[in-house]
Amino acid sequence: MLIIMIMMPIILLSGSWTPPEAMPAGLRHAMYLSPLYYYIEMSYGILLKGAGLKILWDSLLGLTLLGAVIFTFGVWRFRRQFG
């Protein structure tokens, strides 16, 4: 049941079902918190446009920063609980 509460916002905010242009401004800003958004943007760029790292560096940077923040939060929680 918890996965529904986590995965549904990630999927809905990824831009795969609803284009970002059709979303309100607040939801467009919340899209940057979804890792699936960056994955879909990079996948479309690679598969449909043949884009390289020069074009997709901003999406890769966003995904890396989001992953670093989530990883840091997980390490902090682990140390707080077991350290």
Per-residue confidence (pLDDT) for residue 17, from 0 to 100: 86
Q: Could you tell me which residues come within 8 angstroms of residue 60 by beta carbon, excluding any fewer than 6 positions away?
A: 38, 42, 53
Domain boundaries, the chain: 2-82
Q: How far apart are CA 11 and CA 15, in angstroms?
A: 8
Q: What whole-number distance in Å separates Cα of residue 42 and Cα of residue 52?
A: 9
| Total-model pTM | 0.82
Neighbours of 63 (CB within 10 A): 18
Name the token pair of 29. 């800003």
19-49 pLDDT, tens digit each: 888 989 998 999 988 999 999 999 999 999 9
